[in-house]
Structure 1
Amino acid sequence: DAAYLETEDGRGLYRASVDFRCSGEWGAEVTARIPNREDRTARVLFPVAVDTTTPSIGEPVPSIETSTADTPSGIAAISTDTDPDPDFYRVSEADALAKGDPFVLVFATPAFCQTAACGPTLDTVKNAATGFKDALTFIHVEPYILELRDGQLQPVLDQSGGLQTVEAVETWALPAEPFIFVVGGDGRLAAKFAGLVSEDELREAFQSVAGG
């Protein structure tokens, strides 16, 4: 079964877990059945790779210093979230890893997202985090280099006018954003999600590393 997840542009997508028996070029056929209307069918091709650029499930994750803040003005200088959760900015990824704390790392930029999924994804993580904050550390990272100009965060563009990624994006080898990583107290990756995700999926992943 596929779950419908809405994006911030008023559209959405269906998400389902699928096991592929081999790598290579795969395709999907999707049929939409709407009451009192003709069925509509679409096909799409996509590659399935053997390896991912990001850490694989069960692998040790890399350590990287991420930005932290403990005041509203400090958070506003490192996050484009219009309703930030202060708990998502208290601890650096490197510190959580060094302490052996299980943590959730969220790469998302509500203001400059290239996929229209960052805002909804970050909100979903914040909602799912309720009830897990005593057991897990939550960390939000803006994937692009930003600077505060005229009271607002703005991207630092390269010579061709493109967005530049922060060091953490390179370290974790992100192919796109948003991306969520769930890491256990042993420093190994327990789960990861690209793009939109449901709260139930996240809670299940959080519980797998929270213990108890």
Structure 2
Amino acid sequence: MSEPELSRRTFILATGSVALVALSAKVAGALPTQNRDISPLVLSSDLYASPLPQRLVLAVAVGKKYDSSSPAKIEIQAPESSETKVLDTKLYRSGLPQGRGVYVSEPVLPTAGIWKARLITRGEKVPFVLQVQSTPIGPSVGTLASKSASPTPSETMGVNPICTREPPCALHKTSLDTVIGTGKPVAVLFATPALCQSQYCGPVLNELLKIYKKYPEITFVHVEIYKSNRGVELSPTVEAWGIESEPWFFTVDGAGTVVGRLDGAFGREEMVKQLNALQSN
């Protein structure tokens, strides 16, 4: 099977922001023009200054196609610093689209600003940049999750459809405002299978549907990103949670505190890891 084509639109959206693409373009070129050019695609959309490790996720393009066939490391350099650090990555393929595995590392990013970075793979060092914000945009680990409602069949909150998956999934029976902070752990997936720009949302939801029944103690809720199939206006729940990309996966303990989060792209293995931690919390 051939590797999936990488469109220019997908490339731009994968980096998380137009500004970041512009900065990356100055370093490495916004889109590969030669057949075998290597390009790192930053899928993390909410990196922020913190003394704690956080998840950095990349996809890789070779030419105009995704490629996850080779091991990789990441070299990072803080703003206004000459020191560099090389990080190992873990390659995840299970539960992700064919040929579109992702590379995950856990750097410590204590300083806000534009970090220089290099993808080390196939004997090459490919420069790119990371935009690290001073504070997170979405809920971070250790903060309280929003107790806003989410659409259900009986109360759609103006969202139509409440699930763009075909057939619709069964994770819309419970509104988040009835379970967050009530003593029961909750797992929330924000994803729009029909409209997802990165095309990771559908596979992520399908993987979750394969495993959620193994965790009867946890309440699972899927929330669509948009109010309609026009893909313009965000759903009220997405606005309340303050997220600006898709997909996102949050685990929330019984007290309503966020204890885990994944964004950009993730498969079964990373979700299982977070669900196991939530269940034993």
> TM-score band, normalised by the shorter chain?
0.7 to 0.9
CA-atom RMSD in angstroms: 2.4
What SS does structure 2 have at the residue aligned with 1:205? helix
Question: How far is 1:7 from its partner?
Answer: 5.3
Aligned to 1:114: 197
Alignment CA distance shift 1:199-1:11 (3 Å) = closer
What SS does structure 1 have at the residue aligned with 2:180? helix
Once residues 92 and 280 of structure 2 are traced to their aligned partners in structure 1, the CA distance between those partners, rounded to angstroms, is 29
| Equivalent pair of 2:189/2:222 in contact (CA under 8 Å) | yes
Tell whether 2:273 aligns with 1:185: no
Aligned AA for 2:247? Answer: P
5+ residue gaps, structure 2, are 1-88, 155-159
Aligned AA for 1:102? Answer: P
Once residues 114 and 219 of structure 2 are traced to their aligned partners in structure 1, the CA distance between those partners, rounded to angstroms, is 38
Q: How many percent identity over aligned positions? A: 26
Alignment CA distance shift 1:127-1:22 (3 Å) = farther
What SS does structure 2 have at the residue aligned with 1:97? coil
Once residues 208 and 31 of structure 1 are traced to their aligned partners in structure 2, the CA distance between those partners, rounded to angstroms, is 31
Question: How far is 1:206 from its partner?
Answer: 1.3
1:60-209 pair list within 5 angstroms: 60-69=144-153, 77-86=161-170, 88-97=171-180, 99-132=182-215, 134-146=216-228, 154-155=229-230, 163-209=232-278
Once residues 223 and 90 of structure 2 are traced to their aligned partners in structure 1, the CA distance between those partners, rounded to angstroms, is 28
Deviation sequence 1:17-63 (CA, Å, 0-9, x none): 22224322112211332xxxxx3442211111231011221111111
Aligned AA for 1:100? Answer: G
Identify which of 38, 43, 49 aligns with 2:127: 43
Aligned to 2:112: 23
Report which structure shows greater RCO (CA 8 Å, sep ≥6): 1
Question: How far is 1:207 from its partner?
Answer: 2.0
Alignment CA distance shift 1:130-1:29 (3 Å) = farther
Question: How far is 1:195 from its partner?
Answer: 1.4
| Equivalent pair of 1:31/1:42 in contact (CA under 8 Å) | yes
| Equivalent pair of 1:7/1:116 in contact (CA under 8 Å) | no
Once residues 212 and 108 of structure 2 are traced to their aligned partners in structure 1, the CA distance between those partners, rounded to angstroms, is 28
Q: TM-score, normalised by structure 1?
A: 0.78
Further displaced range: 97-106 or 58-67: 97-106
| Equivalent pair of 2:190/2:222 in contact (CA under 8 Å) | yes
| Equivalent pair of 1:118/1:195 in contact (CA under 8 Å) | no
